[in-house]
Amino acid sequence: MEKSIKGILTRNPNRVALICLPGTKSKLKGLDKNKFLVPRDLTVSQFIFVLRSRMDKNDDIIKNKEAIYIYYRDRNGKINIPSHSTLFGFLYDNNMEENKCLYIYYDKENVFG
């Protein structure tokens, strides 16, 4: 798999490979597609918008009072929640795994009590 990812990234140098999974305690279903090749200049908030629209298609009902958030593990295993303005190119360069993918986890949170 690592060779195929390297080939894809070589052909698409302005993109990063993401694997997006539900959080360990998430009640959300998995997406129909969990592998993404996104532009390096895509922000976290733009990606959350994509996730939210995919969840609506996947019968995961996200109510207006619920927020989607993403997090990742850094190279030391520490969980981090990125700022909404963070670019995926920065996250990828600093936190990609040995297989050249950045693993992102998502969950929902009730924001209005």
Segment 73-113, tens digit of pLDDT: 988 889 999 999 999 999 999 999 988 899 999 998 887 75
Tell me what pLDDT residue 10 has.
84
Domain of 30, in residue numbers: 2-110
Q: 1 falls in which pLDDT band (50, 70, 90)?
A: low
Average pLDDT estimate for 3-12 = 83
Q: What is the CATH number of the domain that holds 74?
A: 3.10.20.90
Backbone angles phi, psi at 64, to 5 degrees: -60, -25
- Looking at the predicted structure, is the pLDDT value of residue 60 above 70? no
Q: 58 falls in which pLDDT band (50, 70, 90)?
A: low
Segment 13-56, tens digit of pLDDT: 899 999 999 988 888 877 888 899 999 999 999 999 988 888 76
Tell me what pLDDT residue 109 has.
85
Lookup: tokens for 46: 């733009």
Cβ(88)–Cβ(102) under 8 Å? Answer: yes
Average pLDDT estimate for 3-13 = 83
Cβ(44)–Cβ(70) under 8 Å? Answer: yes
How many structural domains are present in the chain? 1
Average pLDDT estimate for 64-68 = 80
